Amino acid sequence: MSETDIRHQIEKFYKDRAEFMMHLGIFALVNLCLWGLWGFMAFRAGFILPWPLIVTMGWGAGLAAHAIEWQAKSPKRLTRIKQTAHKRMRQLYGPDWEMMTDEADYERIYNATQKDFNHKKELGIHAAVYVCINVLLLLIWLVVTRATFFPFPFIVAGLWGIGLGAHALNNWFDSSRSLMAREQAVQNAISRYNENEVSDKPKRKRLQHMLTDDGELLEVIEDTEREGQHGY
């Protein structure tokens, strides 16, 4: 990632923060007015269904999703992605990974790490919407039916919960763990191949001449490995 990309992402983060704060302000103002109106009507007419709850919880789910989406673009998150990518590079290629790898290797690990963080963001949004909507349904069921009607919110929560669990499992199996395992297997295979190449490589020979006691000149061939042992 270049400095231009980093600058662009940080600028977009602050722009999105302004949009989120505006969203939050409108949410608070509108809901304050709705609950104030409901309170006035309830004071005049007695107890009535708290209909602003539908707006608060429904809109609140969207607001929570907006907050998670905004925080996913924070500079701290970008730093965590980079640190995690560097940690994984050290795990795969050792402490000298910068000298042993090229840009394509780093980009592959960085993109996989970024994908993991995006999966977590999407799961967080899903979970926030799940909680808000199911709390809304439960409150409607309690207020309207006084818990005497069929508890449909539990059916919705259970079925939706299965979907949420499936989402989490999909993130687990589609994470960079599979990429890391594959890369580790490749590195192990390369290491074994290099070790076999060294062990199977023929030893170099060196021709030497030796004078016998009878004055004859003999040719002697010695291994370089043996020479190293004798300090030649």
Domains in the chain: boundaries: 3-197, 205-230
Strand 217-223, strand 205-211: pairing: antiparallel
The pTM assigned to this predicted structure is 0.70
Q: Which of 151, 156, 149 is nearest to 132 (CA)?
A: 156
* Per-residue confidence (pLDDT) for residue 83, from 0 to 100: 92
Q: How far apart are CA 66 and CA 132, in angstroms?
A: 14
Average pLDDT (181-192) is 72
pLDDT band at 225 (very low <50, low <70, confident <90, very high): very low
pLDDT band at 227 (very low <50, low <70, confident <90, very high): very low
Average pLDDT (114-118) is 91
* Amino acid at the residue 203: K
**Whether residue 22 has pLDDT greater than 60:** yes
Share of the chain above pLDDT 70, in %: 79
What are the backbone angles phi and psi of residue 94, rounded to the nearest 5°? 90, 175
Q: How far apart are CA 224 and CA 226, in angstroms?
A: 5
* Per-residue confidence (pLDDT) for residue 214, from 0 to 100: 60
